[in-house]
Amino acid sequence: MEYLDIRKNAYIEALTLSETGKVISLWGRVPWEIVESFGYKGLYSYGIDKHVTEGYDDNNYCDMLNSSFAYLELGKCPFMFSSKFFIVDDNCKIRYEKLKEKTDKEVYIYKDNDYKSLIKFMEEKSKEPFNMDKFVDIVEKSKQISSAIGKLRKCDVDEKRIYEVEYFSKFIFDVDERLSFIRGHIDESFREKEVAKIQAGAGIYKKIVQLINEGYFCEGELHKDYESSGFEFIKEKYGKFNLEPDYIIRGCNQFDIDYKTIKY
């Protein structure tokens, strides 16, 4: 299956699932493991295309937010369209403030990695109590996904191809199928690679010759081998980091390192 086909199929699936009211648009580093333990489907919904901003009036943000807001306001993203409400983290003040202005849907701000408040919010929305057993099961599968991606990154495979497997696998909604898809690309080869810390690789990954590692900044998940489980895993995976990226997306207001700017 071509990687772009995975995303196209996900669009169709999201539109179908929207009839259940169980689709949520996630912006930033929000723990999908908690969201999905309530039976919802959490879809990461930031923009990855530059062309969608052509003719869009409000191009006053970083490339990623320009694309994201254009998709939202022009109604061009099936994930955002299908979502019952939005959950956004507080890593970027501009993102959550402007997002609330640009949609009539409810926007919940996930602050300070406060998973207890997120659980309470999801209980109110679902009208169901938090299911610890289901959460623990999803966390264990999430750990397996991160471990598999770690093994994939060590293979003697083109860096761009590795990132494509990692990125597009997010659009395989069934977690077991997602894990199987990633494992299907792992072999016995090995090659050392330089790794670049970037806010969000999608949209610029074809311009980077290094392996991309997200999850430290405003988007993506931090994939590695985790020994922690349950809520300790959530705190470790989605916690904030006092690091500087190797490259920044053009227009970012969080870092002042213009010589490392990457354009969409």
What CATH class does 1-264 carry?
alpha beta
Which percentage of the chain shows pLDDT scores above 70?
A: 100
Helix (H) or strand (E) holding 66, with range, is helix 63-74
The DSSP letter of residue 154 is: T
- Output the 3-class SS for 13-31: HHHHHHHHCCEEEEECCCC
Q: What angle do CA 246, 250, 253 make, to 5 degrees?
A: 85
pLDDT of residue 7: 87
Query: Among 74, 71, 94, 93, which Cα is nearest to 25's?
Result: 71
Q: Where are the domains of the chain?
A: 1-264
**pLDDT tens profile 133-180:** 999 999 999 999 999 999 999 999 999 999 999 999 999 999 999 999
pLDDT of residue 256: 80
The pTM of this model reads 0.95
Query: pLDDT under 70 in the chain at which residues?
Result: 1
d(CA 122, CA 124): 5
Give the torsion through C-alpha atoms of 149, 117, 65, 49, to 10 deg.
40
| b/e sequence 59-88, b meaning 16+ C-beta within 10 Å | eebbbbbbbbbbbbeeeebbbbbbbebbbb
